[in-house]
Amino acid sequence: TGQDTDTTSSETFNINVGKFKLVEGRVKIQSPDTLLPSEVQHLNTQLSFGMKEGRQNLQLDNFSFSTKSPDMVLEKLSFKLNQAPDVINLSGFHLKTAKNQLEGDVKYAEDIEKESTATLQSSPLQLNEFEFYLPGLSIPVSPVFMLDASMNDGTVQAIVKLEDGTQRIHLDLTSDN
Bigger pLDDT: 138 vs 11: 138
Give the model's pLDDT for residue 72.
92
What's this model's pTM, rounded to 2 decimal places? 0.83
Give the model's pLDDT for residue 40.
96
Lowest mean pLDDT among 2-6, 45-49, 143-147, 160-164: 2-6
Residue 9, pLDDT above cutoff 60? no
Bigger pLDDT: 40 vs 53: 40
Closest CA to 163 of 176, 145, 175: 145
As a whole-number percent, the residues of the chain with pLDDT over 70 amount to: 93
Task: Quote the CA–CA distance of 73 and 40 in Å, as a whole number.
Answer: 10
Pairing of the two strands 155-164 and 167-176: antiparallel
Residue 10, pLDDT above cutoff 60? no
Give the DSSP letter of residue 119: E
Average pLDDT over residues 52-60: 93
Give the model's pLDDT for residue 113.
84
